[in-house]
Amino acid sequence: MSRIAFVAALFVTGSAVASDPLLIVVAGRVIPKGGTVVAVMAGKPGPGQKGHIATATLSDFEKSAKLPRGGPFDLYFKPKRGLPVKMVAGWGPSDKPLALGDHLGTVFVRGDDFPRASAVVVTATTAPGPDEKGHIAVQKAGDYKEDMVVLPGTYAVWVVPFNGAKAVRVADNIRVLAGRETKVPE
């Protein structure tokens, strides 16, 4: 075999043996069903942002999704209802499944003693409320008793009353841990 043919044979064999990287996800018991994991190239716009292009999406966590070669990737969890959450930045594929419970927690607002709501909003503890200038929601739900997916951290919870009244901060300094559900009020 000539030297050129040998090099070509190695190239073909190597590309046939190497497999595409995979995104494998384990949901866990705390994360609500019906969500999707979205992969984008690191630093690129995520779901809901202008110019967003998904490199892979995975809704059925019993399966896996092929990723393009290259990377690294930013991974977002997009709940069935609510805002997408950037759960991992600069992720590189591995043989180990990605466990959502290692990166995300939930806030569950009972609402028994709160006014009827048109929205329940989670913000940073120092962030302005839904009616104020500069408001940025970390997560939101249309009503009480929905698990709102967030990163581990400390948050405030606001209720936007159904009657159009000004939003009310109903909880402050709520600590959310990965893989755990935090109930409001505790």
In the prediction, which pLDDT does 113 show?
A: 87
Cα distances (Å, whole numbers) of residue 92 to 15, 130, 185: 20, 36, 38
Question: Distance between CA 101 and CA 105 in Å, rounded?
Answer: 7
In the prediction, which pLDDT does 20 show?
A: 79
With a cut of 60, say whether residue 8 has pLDDT above it: no
- pLDDT tens sequence across 99-155: 999 999 999 999 888 889 999 999 999 999 999 999 999 999 999 999 999 999 999
Element (H, E) at 4: helix 3-17
CATH number of 105-184: 2.60.40
CB burial class (10 A; 0-12, 13-18, 19+) of residue 9?
exposed
In the prediction, which pLDDT does 17 show?
A: 37
With a cut of 50, say whether residue 1 has pLDDT above it: no
- 127 close to 154: Cβ distance less than 8 angstroms: no
**Arithmetic mean of pLDDT, 144-169:** 95
- pLDDT tens sequence across 11-38: 333 333 357 789 999 988 888 889 999 9
Domain ranges (residues) in the chain:
19-102, 105-184
In the prediction, which pLDDT does 18 show?
A: 53
In the prediction, which pLDDT does 102 show?
A: 95
- pLDDT tens sequence across 24-83: 999 888 888 899 999 999 999 999 999 999 999 999 999 999 999 888 999 999 999 999
How far is the first Cα of the chain from the last one, in angstroms, to the nearest whole number?
A: 74
Q: Write down the residue that tokens 């901060």 correspond to.
A: 169
In the prediction, which pLDDT does 69 show?
A: 87
**Arithmetic mean of pLDDT, 80-99:** 92
In the prediction, which pLDDT does 2 show?
A: 38
In the prediction, which pLDDT does 174 show?
A: 96
pLDDT band, residue 5 (cuts 50/70/90): very low
